[in-house]
Amino acid sequence: MKSEGFDLGRFSEPAMLILVSLAGGEKHGYAMMEDIEAFGGTRLGPGTLYGALARLEKQGLIEPVPSDDRRRPYRLTGAGSTALREQLSGLRAFAATGLGRLVAA
């Protein structure tokens, strides 16, 4: 389920988790890890998290927010919101198809 113009890459699950986390507001890395664990039931390791953050930033889907301390918070860009909305809509259709087929089986 590739969004037009955006390729979340082979590590799409961490990318989606990060985008969903940032949809709730600006966060730094540790806050994202905690949020993702709370809503997604999985804990991203620092290498996975920061690798995905770098890819998402390079694609223009997230951007750093100025900070007064050593933490580096991020936020979604407009393109990031669009990509996330498209991905989630595709997942909704995918889930509906799968659930419909289970009912029919």
Domains of the chain, residue spans: 12-104
Cα distance between residue 95 and residue 50, in whole Å: 29
pLDDT tens for 84-97 read 999 999 989 988 99
Burial (CB < 10 A; 0-12, 13-18, 19+), residue 51, is middle
Percent of all residues in the chain with a pLDDT value above 90, rounded to a whole number: 73
pLDDT exceeds 70 at position 9:
no
Chain centroid offset of residue 32 CA: 10
> Does 1.10.10.10 match the CATH number of domain 12-104?
yes
| Integer Cα distance of 97 and 14 in angstroms | 24
40: three-class secondary structure by DSSP: helix
**What's the pTM?**
0.84
